[in-house]
Amino acid sequence: MSAAPRWAVEGRDWPNHAHSRFVDAGRLRWHVQVMGAGPVLLLLHGTGAATHSWRALAPLLAADFTVVAPDLPGHGFTAGRPAGGLAMPAMARAVGELMQVLDLAPHIIVGHSAGAAIAARMALDGLAKPDAIVGLSAALLPFPGLAAKLFPTLARMLFVNPFAPHIFARLARTSGETARFLARATGSRVDAEGVRCYATLLASPAHCAGALAMMADWDLAALARDLPRLVPPPLLIHGSADAAIPLRNATEAAGMIPGARVTPLAGLGHLAHEEQPEQVAALIRQFAGERV
């Protein structure tokens, strides 16, 4: 197994393969999937994921929108590092540069977990002017108490250890471990195709290193301070059984943003959009119809 996923090997049967392309923007060579027609809808996945996370949702949304779904820097089949590394402002700028190169201005930005934070940062920093923002299990607030300092510190310690990504990758190749990890970490029931894709990514030391670097550089406290001036107000869709980010975090974040709304999804976990893509697509479509 090479350090990074290889499109000619691991990418041969990647979900929505026919819609993939590679685009040079800034310091990166992006893997991005584009499908559908209509208002531009940008999908931003969370830490440790990639375009496969939208394998069912993206085609559903493509019936009404031009869907753009990139692998974020450090993740999946996107190569290179943006100026400023994988810190949130740098990631937001990099996604903005990609959209400029594609000549596609997003009317709607849908972000999952950390992808929702990037969506908010893009709007706050004037890198995009969407009519609607949707957060799926959005990671918009710092972890409570000691975890706020412990998790980024632990990620930094692991990132500077050159063996850490290889250790994680070796564990991912252990039979059944990926499915067990996803269940414990997210509270979601992921289908076999999703488990296969996550296992492929977690078996890549480069992908694991990218996820660790992103967590090490993440500053949610600064984002939280800016949330009261976020426009447009987002819709926060959140699984009630989310094992990674509790539903109360979405309620708290919404209380900080004038006009924000929370829609809980009963019994679904952190990857609710993978568990029930039809339900999530309907909610996105309805909200976008009110805004666009």
In order along its 292 residues, the chain shows pLDDT tens digits of: 347 899 999 999 999 999 999 999 989 999 999 999 999 999 999 998 999 999 999 999 999 999 999 999 999 999 999 999 999 999 999 999 999 999 999 999 999 999 999 999 999 999 999 999 999 999 999 865 434 444 454 444 444 445 445 555 665 566 578 888 888 889 999 999 999 999 899 888 889 888 888 887 788 989 999 999 999 999 999 999 999 899 999 999 999 999 999 999 999 999 999 999 999 999 999 999 999 8
Domain membership of residue 279 as a residue range: 17-143+220-291
Name the region of 74 (left: φ>0; alpha: ψ -120 to 50; beta: rest): left
In-domain check, residue 200: no
Could you give the C-alpha distances from 165 to 188, 205, 261, in angstroms and in order? 24, 5, 38
In-domain check, residue 90: yes
In-domain check, residue 195: no
CA-based nearest residue to 203, from 50, 66, 101? 50
- Look at the chain and report how many structural domains it folds into: 1
CB 130 within 8 A of CB 123: yes
In-domain check, residue 124: yes
In-domain check, residue 125: yes
In-domain check, residue 182: no
Q: What is the CATH number of the domain that holds 247?
A: 3.40.50.1820
- Is 164 in a helix, a strand, or coil? helix
In-domain check, residue 76: yes
In-domain check, residue 231: yes
